[in-house]
C-alpha cells in the first residue's frame, strides 16, 4: 500500500491505463459528491465489503479514497491481504480533493 498526496495520486492516476478509482464511503457521503468514474463499496459493510472486493480484478491498480484518508488506508490494507498488488490511498481523502466532482442524480 502506498499513501499518496493529492497531487501524486492525481498525476499517477492520469498516467495509469490500468486504474480503478474506489470510493469506500457510505451512501450518504457519496450523495455529497464523488470523484468521477469511481466505484463505491462501503467499508462499513464489514464482510459484505470483503465479498465485493473479491469480485474485483486483482490485476488492476486501485486508487482508494474515503472522507479523510483513514478508512481508505484500512481498505488498502485489507486489499493487500486479499492479494491486490497495487492499492493507493488518497491522503486527506475527499475533504482535500481539489479535482472534479461528480454527483449522482
Cα(87)–Cα(76) distance, integer angstroms: 5
Which positions ≥6 away from 33 have C-beta within 8 Å?
Answer: 94, 101, 102, 103
Give CA torsion, residues 93, 97, 101, 102, to 10 deg: -10
Kindly name the residue from 35, 41, 66, 87 that is annotated as catalytic: 66
Active site residue 66: yes
The torsion angles phi and psi of 93, rounded to 5 degrees, stand at: 55, -160
CA dihedral 46, 105, 39, 45 (to 10 degrees): 0
Active site residues: 66
Amino acid at each position: 500500500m502506498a499513501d499518496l498526496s493529492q497531487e501524486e495520486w492525481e498525476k499517477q492516476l492520469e498516467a495509469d491505463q490500468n486504474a480503478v478509482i474506489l470510493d469506500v464511503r457510505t451512501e450518504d457521503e457519496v450523495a455529497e459528491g464523488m470523484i468521477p468514474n469511481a466505484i463505491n463499496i462501503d467499508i462499513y459493510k464489514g464482510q459484505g465489503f470483503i465479498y465485493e472486493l473479491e469480485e474485483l480484478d486483482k490485476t488492476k491498480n486501485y486508487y482508494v479514497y474515503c472522507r479523510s484518508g483513514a478508512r481508505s488506508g484500512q481498505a488498502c490494507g485489507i486489499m493487500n491481504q486479499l492479494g491486490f498488488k497495487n492499492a493507493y490511498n488518497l491522503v486527506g481523502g475527499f475533504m482535500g480533493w481539489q479535482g472534479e466532482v461528480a454527483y449522482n442524480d
